[in-house]
Structure 1
Amino acid sequence: MITAAIIKSLQVYGIAIVVSLVVAVLIKVLVLVTARMEKRPAVEVPTGSVCPVLLGVPEEDVAALSAAIFAAIGPHRILRISQPSHGWAVGGRAAQHSSHTPGHAPGRSNR
């Protein structure tokens, strides 16, 4: 009885090993096939005129940003690099502060 259980467990382990090997080979084949399909020809780097750099923006930063954008999304033109405007942030902060001030809120009764 114990020998039959041992034989049955060895059969189950053997089947599990064979299935694992088949799945591993299948995954390896799929990885190789998809790697060959994804090989694309090298992208031609466009050459042309460089946009003027505004005062205060170092040329090294423009070069680094251009390289990062090209690496991430491909060849695109940068139209403008300038100092950020914080007008929207000031308006948002003012709206938040006015909504949190205690007192009478418009549209509510005085109860």
Structure 2
Amino acid sequence: MILIAAIAFLAMGLLALIAPQRITRMVGLSTLPMAARNEVRAVYGGFGVAMGALLLLSGRCPHWQPGVVLTVAMALLGMALGRLVAWGVDGRLERFPALFLVGEAALGIGLLLTL
């Protein structure tokens, strides 16, 4: 599960760094001003790559791994919780956010189960 989560973060992160509008197009934002592209690259790209790399590197540092796994799991579950709140406030959850919610919850719970 750690490897799956690492690959998911790395894939999302690299895509966001290279083509930020491919990420935002999934949620209805087809064009982004420069500042918004910077934000997507930082939050989805840089954060995603860092989390993926940290998960991979934690295998080489067994004393770090439980803390890394717990931290990343909680980040994922926090994202899922944010989507649930948005669903409650907005009254609906569109397709891609719903898929992201399922993926974040599954990866977060899966990571917790490795502890």
TM-score by length of 1: 0.24
Q: Which has the higher contact order (CA 8 A, sep 6+)?
A: 2
Pick the structure with greater CA Rg: 1
- TM-score normalised by L of structure 2: 0.23
**Structure with the bigger percentage of helix:** 2
